[in-house]
Amino acid sequence: MSVYFTKDHEWIRMEGDIAVVGITNYAQEQLGDVVFVEVPEAGTRVDAGGEAAVVESVKAASEVYAPMAGEIVEGNEALADDPSLVNSAPEGDGWFFKMKPDDAAALDEMLDEAAYKALLADLD
């Protein structure tokens, strides 16, 4: 199963032609305790790099961007009741939304795991 990453610290996991999107463990560590998440509704159109979701820690609000253009097929409703899933399982149950990309070729521009790890190493 292929996992891709963006420079904005999001991950994308392809399940068939559907992309599951969340934020990385590094991103949740930077945010701190997540207290509120707003996910997009199914049917919402998103542009590449456009605002798709909001994640708030005690201290501040941050945007989660759509990694590519497409249509949202599901927002993770579990995050409304338990936003701390983003901290406890950022790359599992703490996913933000599922989307159908307009063009799966957009994935070619994403980072693979090795490239993302190299990016993190540069940040330290």
Partner 1 sequence: MAEDAKDLKTTPLDGLHREYGGKMVPFAGYSMPVQYKAGVLQEHLHTREAAGLFDVSHMGQARLTGAHAAEALETLVPGDITGLTGGQMRYTLLTNDAGGIRDDLMVTQCGNHLYLVVNAACKDADFAHIGANLPDGVKLEIIDDHALLALQGPKAADALARYVPAVRHMVFLTGGAHKINDIPCFITRSGYTGEDGFEISLPASEAEGFARLLLSEDEVMPIGLGARDSLRLEAGLCLYGNDIDETTTPVEAALTWTVGKRRRAEGGFPGSGVILGQITDGTERRRVGLVPEGRAPARAGTDIQDLDGGAAGTVTSGGFGPTVDGPIAMGYVRTDLAKPGTRVNLMVRGKAQPAEVVKPPFVKQNYVKD
Is 80 a residue that touches partner 1 (CB under 8 A)?
Answer: yes
Residues 55-74 that bind partner 1 (CB under 8 A): 56-61
- Residue whose tokens read 């599992």: 92
Q: Which is nearer to partner 1, 18 or 26 (CB)?
A: 26
Contact 115, 121 (CB under 8 A): no
Q: Residue 60 Cβ, how far from partner 1 at the closest point, in Å?
A: 8
What track of x and - describes contact with partner 1 for positions 1 through 40 (by CB under 8 A)?
-------------------------------xx-xx-x--
